[in-house]
Amino acid sequence: MELMKSSIGAILKNIDIAKDYLDEEVVNSFLDTIIDSNNVFLIGAGRSGLAAKAFAMRLMHLGISVYVVGETISPAINKGDAIVAISGSGETSSIISAVKIAKERGSKVLSLTSYGESTLGQLSDTYILVKGRPKEGDSDESYIERQIHGNYKSLTPLGTLFELTSLIFLDGLISELMFRLGKTESDLKARHTVLE
């Protein structure tokens, strides 16, 4: 169980460090856009797509009109809407392609990515920086990050840190939205599905 505990520790540490990169202005702009949009569309691939869905579910609980790209009932995106894209690299091609279409149609683009200079970052009206595991040779890999990741890649393989950090940031955004929209837990519960 040693590895499991070390892995959990590395994840918690990454999230704790990453949250210090959160920028108040960025977060506020992100929240404003969600609240001001007619419809909010979530998109992500693989496990980032699951984080997108987890966020979408809570937005629905909050009474926001929200859709997941690729699910059955997602309509056309239009001016006045926003798309929220989640991609660690910021280069996932299916996401870039959808975001470009959304932007051309006049929708706002929000994203979570580890790289602000990525294609996704550059296409975004607002992006939240989510530090995951630094790429091989990244100059901004701090000493403490190296200690976490060093020889222990298998503790948090592939995009694990990005995905989990994004998910928890998104849940943090939910608590801000509850406050702004004046929603209580009972309000959320009242919209929670009862059919599963």
Task: Please give the residues from 163 up to 192 whose contact with a second copy meets the rule CB under 8 A.
Answer: 163-164, 167-169, 171-176, 178-179, 183-185, 188-192
Report DSSP state, residue 132: -
* Size of interface with a second copy, in residues (CB under 8 A): 83
Phi-psi region of 76 (alpha: psi -120 to 50; beta: other; left: phi over 0): beta
Within 138-167, which residues bind a second copy (CB under 8 A)?
A: 153-158, 160, 163-164, 167
Closest distance between a second copy and the C-beta of residue 82, in Å?
Answer: 13
35 is a site residue for a second copy (CB under 8 A)? no
Choice from 34, 37, 67, 82 touching a second copy (CB under 8 A): 67
C-beta closer to a second copy: residue 30 or 115: 30
Closest distance between a second copy and the C-beta of residue 103, in Å?
Answer: 11
Choice from 17, 33, 35, 74 touching a second copy (CB under 8 A): 74
C-alpha–C-alpha distance, residues 77 and 167, integer Å: 24
Choice from 34, 43, 109, 123 touching a second copy (CB under 8 A): 43
C-alpha–C-alpha distance, residues 62 and 174, integer Å: 9
7 is a site residue for a second copy (CB under 8 A)? yes
Q: Is 163 a catalytic residue?
A: yes
Q: Starting at the edge strand that comes first in sequence, how are the strands of the sheet with 40-44 ordered?
A: 66-68, 40-44, 82-86, 108-113, 126-129
Residue with tokens 């590395």: 10
17 is a site residue for a second copy (CB under 8 A)? no
Closest distance between a second copy and the C-beta of residue 134, in Å?
Answer: 14
Range list of H helices, 45-182:
46-61, 93-104, 119-123, 143-149, 160-181
Q: Which two tokens stand for residue 67?
A: 């859709």
Phi-psi region of 128 (alpha: psi -120 to 50; beta: other; left: phi over 0): beta
Q: Which of 25, 104, 136, 163 is catalytic?
A: 163
Closest distance between a second copy and the C-beta of residue 29, in Å?
Answer: 12
Q: Which two tokens stand for residue 158?
A: 């592939």
Choice from 34, 37, 45, 119 touching a second copy (CB under 8 A): 45
What is the set of active-site residues? 163
